[in-house]
Amino acid sequence: MKREVWEELVDRVVDDECTAEEKRALYEAAERNPEIREAIDAALRIRELLRKTAGATVPPEFSERLRLAIERSDVWVEREAARPTVRPASTGAARRFGGRRFLWASTGAAVSFAAVALLASGLVDGAGREAVQIGMRVDKAPEIASTAPTNADFDAMENGDEAARTRPTILRRPGNKGEAPKEPVVATPDGFYTRRTVDSENAKRLLAEFLRFCRENDVAYAKIDGDFELTLRETTSENRRAILEWLDANARKSEERAETNLAERWDEADESVCDVRVSFNVE
């Protein structure tokens, strides 16, 4: 058997990619030619060594990193969005409320509470400006005795009605120039939104910082279409407070009251049932 023939055949025999006849022929040749025998042994030895070196395991902390990456994948939200019956009504509702509007939702007859979206004046009407809106929803909110605001309430607030502004559960920044929603306020069984707006330069920085912040605080986030939605599922009260503190430090001072108030309510509630969603809308 010529060298080029047996050399090629050794590989196929070792890899079990040959016929029975070829295998038999090679081993018969190997009995007569020590070079062939050595080539076969070397190929098997290399395999043995390579397989011995294939026992690496990922570091213990990597499993958790991978788990979080999987949990935070956009895919879950995209799949959820593709299933109309699964997608939360408030998410769609939030998207319908664009620009500087508020989205209000309450938990229904037994559970209702209020929140106010505070928008910085003059940030979205400048030419070439871009906005980031951060919405926050509490899915299973604690019971709070309050009256959900109506469109008329929003209108009243926009018109500077002090009575509407000072209602106990409506925390409103004096002088807010935001608009009341044109559409009817959408009531959902799982919470409410508030929004913030920053100018274009701050938008990207805020978004990047917020994403990093959420990663550092073990908070899942996802992306839907062009919007960023950060889902703070079952996160701890401490994390939620940290997030709100971060928002307070990086977004409008005016939101502080509303968000702090919200944080206090979370603290009062069973933290395991809170499910917060934060949305970034880059326009």
Partner 1 sequence: MNDERLIDATLAGDKNAFGELARKYQDRVYNLALPIVGNADDALDVVQETFLQALAHLESFRRSSRFYTWLYRIAYNCAVGALRKRGRTTSVDRIVEEIGECFESPVESPDAKSKREDDVQALREALAKLPEEYRAPIVLREIEGANYERIAETLEIPIGTVRSRLHRARNALREALVRRRNDF
Asked if 152 and 184 touch (Cβ cutoff 8 Å), the reply is no
Assigned token pair, 187: 């009531």
Minimum CB separation from partner 1 for residue 80, in Å?
A: 7
- The residue within the footprint of partner 1, chosen from 5, 75, 89, 249 (CB under 8 A), is 75
- The residue within the footprint of partner 1, chosen from 52, 145, 159, 182 (CB under 8 A), is 52
Q: Binding to partner 1 by residue 79, rule CB under 8 A?
A: yes
Closer Cβ to partner 1, 80 or 130, answer by number: 80
- The residue within the footprint of partner 1, chosen from 66, 89, 152, 208 (CB under 8 A), is 66
Provide Rg for the chain, Cα atoms.
Answer: 31
- The residue within the footprint of partner 1, chosen from 20, 32, 55, 84 (CB under 8 A), is 55
- The residue within the footprint of partner 1, chosen from 2, 31, 34, 56 (CB under 8 A), is 56
What percent of the residues of the chain are helix, what percent strand, and what percent coil, each to the nearest 5?
Answer: 50, 10, 45
Distance CA 124, CA 253 (A): 18
- The residue within the footprint of partner 1, chosen from 21, 34, 57, 145 (CB under 8 A), is 57
Minimum CB separation from partner 1 for residue 73, in Å?
A: 6
- The residue within the footprint of partner 1, chosen from 2, 20, 32, 53 (CB under 8 A), is 53
Q: Binding to partner 1 by residue 182, rule CB under 8 A?
A: no
Of 199, 208, 181, the C-alpha closest to 252 is 199
Angle at which helices 237-250 and 200-216 pack, to 10 degrees?
160
3-state secondary structure of 227: strand
- Decide: residue 169, CB within 10 A, 0-12 exposed, 13-18 middle, 19+ buried: middle
Q: Binding to partner 1 by residue 65, rule CB under 8 A?
A: yes
- The residue within the footprint of partner 1, chosen from 3, 5, 7, 108 (CB under 8 A), is 7
Which whole-number Å values give the CA distances from 132 to 148, 205, 229, 283, in the listed order?
A: 26, 10, 12, 7
Closer Cβ to partner 1, 58 or 127, answer by number: 58
Of 101, 62, 155, the C-alpha closest to 281 is 101
Distance CA 194, CA 196 (A): 7
Closer Cβ to partner 1, 70 or 273, answer by number: 70
Q: Binding to partner 1 by residue 8, rule CB under 8 A?
A: yes
Q: Binding to partner 1 by residue 50, rule CB under 8 A?
A: yes
- The residue within the footprint of partner 1, chosen from 63, 121, 166, 272 (CB under 8 A), is 63
DSSP characters over 70-111: HHT-HHHHHHHHH-TTTS-HHHHHHHHS-TT--------SS-
- Rule CB under 8 A: which residues touch partner 1? 7-8, 11-12, 15-17, 39, 42-43, 45-47, 49-59, 62-63, 65-67, 69-71, 73-76, 79-80, 86
